[in-house]
Amino acid sequence: MVRKFVLLFIAGGLVMGSAACNTVRGVGQDLESAANSVDKAT
């Protein structure tokens, strides 16, 4: 029972970690896009 709980916890952590990486990467791309737009406008 404890082993299943630990495996579930690890699997959940991996899923949440990968989702966070995608979110951070998306924010970085959005900021870069905004900066490029400002550079082109000036």
How large is the average pLDDT for residues 1-25?
A: 80
Residue 1 DSSP symbol: -
Cα separation of 1 and 7, whole Å?
Answer: 10
Asked whether the predicted pLDDT for residue 18 surpasses 80, the reply is: no
Please tell me whether residue 3 adopts helix, strand or coil conformation: helix
In the block, tokens 């737009």 appear at 37
- 20-34 per-position pLDDT tens digit: 777 777 888 888 888
Asked whether the predicted pLDDT for residue 2 surpasses 80, the reply is: yes
Please tell me whether residue 14 adopts helix, strand or coil conformation: helix
How confident is the model at residue 37, as a pLDDT?
86
Cα separation of 27 and 31, whole Å?
Answer: 6
Asked whether the predicted pLDDT for residue 40 surpasses 80, the reply is: yes
The confidence band for 12, taking pLDDT boundaries of 50, 70 and 90, is: confident
